[in-house]
Amino acid sequence: MSHEVTVTVRYWAAAKEASGLAEEQVSAVTLADVLADVRSRHADRPRFAQVLQLCSVLVDGDPVGARDPAAVTLTAGARIEVLPPYAGG
């Protein structure tokens, strides 16, 4: 059985603006847990959920891509980067 660990979620650009935070600490087992937690924390900011759906996510610099967030287990101290799509080139 996996145990919760504390990870840091960092928001960039539109995700930072929509959450109102640059980063926050979350206790979770999987990336799916983290995403559910931050959606709940920012439920009073409807734009956050919209932006989050469009974002790419990195765990310790590794792109999650199309992997199921429930299958991405986390280690203590992991850094989760939430990156909105960038406009321009």
Global pTM value: 0.93
Q: Give tens-digit pLDDT for 17-48.
A: 999 999 999 999 999 999 999 999 999 999 99
Measure CA of the first residue to CA of the last residue in the chain; give whole Å: 44
The yes-or-no verdict on residue 52 having pLDDT over 70 is yes
Do 29 and 73 form a contact (C-beta atoms < 8 A)? Answer: yes
Structure confidence at residue 86 as a pLDDT band (50, 70, 90): confident
In the chain the domains, ranked by start, together with CATH numbers, are: 5-83 (3.10.20.30)
